[in-house]
Amino acid sequence: MIRAGATGCNPLDSIGERLMQVTEINSDGLRRDFKVVVPASHLDQRMQDKLTQLAGTISLPGFRPGKVPLAIVRKKYSQAVLGEILEAAVNDAIGKAVESSGLRPAAQPKVEITSFAEGTDLEFDLAIEVMPEINLVDFATISLVRDKAIIADSEIDTVLAGISERNGTAEKVERPAASGDVVVIDFLGKLNGEPFPGGAAERYSLKLGSNTFIPGFEDQLIGVSAGDTKVIDITFPEGYGNESLSGQAATFDITVHEVQASKPAEINDELAKAVGMESLDALKDAIRAEVGRDLTNASRLKVKRALLDALAASHDFPVPVSMVESEFEAIWKQLEEGRKAGQVDPADEGKSDDELKAEYRTLSERRVRLGLLLAEVGRVNEVTVTQDDINRAILNEARAYPGQEHLVLQYYQKNKDAIESLRAPVYEEKVVDFILEKASVTDREVAAEDLRREHAEAEGLAADEAEQAESGEGEESPKPKKRAPRKKSAE
């Protein structure tokens, strides 16, 4: 039984002649402190019961199974059993303190044993950080603007031009190479005059201006002709995938075999059929639908960021320190891993660790506050995630990998943990949808390019970032340096 303490805990459980005492001794913000005393008589009785049970099941040399004397069992197993009993007593006290006081712990309670010796009472302090009370505002008071992108015919034409180029042909030409041409080359990379593993290839087709290789490599091939040999100087970027090359100056011996001019395919029904569509009109419709989905997603992310900003501004409540610290540690670990890989948020450059830690702790507190807020909205309004929701999420994941959809589906079929990992983001999106339905949302038409540019900037991507081409398997083809993800305003 828990005797009444400073706040009047209710009696819960009778233990022998004496009672377990759980007394609340402090309440400060979200922290609750308890003093717990577990009588020695209770611990002794549990020890006796456990050892007796054990004696009836174990086998030791010289004794029949289940007939080992209790004294021998006690001598051999008492310390291990005592550990189990103490752990059970602590968990029992935690459970009953939480149940009695109606608390909602924000994290695993902290336990500090203050007094214990075998044969004496167990005394320990219990610190529980609880979830805050959240008073939700009337969501109708939140005003938002949602962009509706106008898809111009030029948008479709741009995509068609890309398809035409990718499905075109390359014709050998007898002139110096220009940007956009393909050069067929042999290359041999060297560090300090010595070839390095994976730094060579023969008859490699490289499109100049594709940014497939690291900065400076392709530029030095502008103007070469078939039959030329050349040595180019480059420096591998910091954080390059092969650590032995990271930041290293190198040379590449180049032999040019051919210069090819790209000839785009004609944009007609034949091109459409080559990419699996029945006609050019069908291809245009498919492109428009895909562009529409991308722009709708961009608009969704933008209005979600605005909503989260509004929610954060309109809800002020204390957040559990333990949750903030846990979030901060995860962010800081990611930042340090990014540093090792040469991926640094441009907004972080030139700042000291103390400055960065202060900023990221603020970000951590915002994330925790928004997470708790969305969870409370979902709890109060009984938002749930159905199997259909999960299935749709899996299909959306599969669509992100054109041509490999079946592999994505197989992955989720074989990995239950991966399926469960979708539950939290799906839940969040359903809660966001719920709030958006209640909020005052005004639609406005915008140019697709404006929405796309804003989305790219928010995601920390350069609007003109070139698509990376695949390099040959096993080759150390110098690839462009990856960018670090920026802080998202939605977080």
Domain positions in the chain are 21-129, 139-153+278-458, 169-263+464-486
What integer is the mean pLDDT of 248-262?
94
At residue 460, the pLDDT reads 54
At residue 18, the pLDDT reads 54
At residue 468, the pLDDT reads 30
Q: Which residues pair with 150 in a beta bridge?
A: 447
Question: Which carries the bigger pLDDT value, residue 244 or residue 182?
Answer: 182
Reply yes or no on whether the pLDDT at 238 is more than 80: no
At residue 491, the pLDDT reads 55
Amino acid found at 444: R
CATH number, span 139-153+278-458? 1.10.3120.10
Lowest mean pLDDT among 57-66, 402-411, 422-431: 57-66
The pLDDT tens digits of the residues spanning 258-297 come to 999 988 999 999 999 999 999 999 999 999 999 999 999 9
What integer is the mean pLDDT of 303-325?
94
Q: Cα 238 vs. chain centroid, distance in angstroms?
A: 24
Question: Which carries the bigger pLDDT value, residue 316 or residue 476?
Answer: 316
Reply yes or no on whether the pLDDT at 430 is more than 90: yes
Per-residue b or e along 470-490, where b marks 16 or more CB atoms closer than 10 Å to that residue's CB: ebeeeebbbbbbeebeeeeeb
* Highest averaged pLDDT of the listed ranges 217-231, 339-353, 458-472: 217-231
Q: Hey, is 461 helix, strand or coil? A: coil
At residue 282, the pLDDT reads 96
What integer is the mean pLDDT of 406-427?
92
Beta strands in 29-177 (DSSP E): 31-38, 110-115, 122-129, 143-150, 169-172
CATH architecture of 21-129: 2-Layer Sandwich (3.30)
What integer is the mean pLDDT of 156-181?
91
Question: Which carries the bigger pLDDT value, residue 454 or residue 427?
Answer: 427
What integer is the mean pLDDT of 174-193?
94
CA distance 467 to 159: 14
Amino acid found at 88: A
Amino acid found at 242: N
CATH topology of domain 169-263+464-486: Chitinase A; domain 3 (3.10.50)
At residue 431, the pLDDT reads 97
What integer is the mean pLDDT of 58-62?
81
Mean of all residue pLDDT scores within the chain? 85
Please give the backbone phi and psi of residue 267, each rounded to the nearest 5 degrees, phi first: -85, 100
- Counting residues of the chain whose pLDDT is more than 90, the rounded percentage is 54
At residue 116, the pLDDT reads 87
What integer is the mean pLDDT of 62-66?
78
At residue 266, the pLDDT reads 94
With contact defined as beta carbons under 8 Å apart, do 327 and 368 qualify?
yes
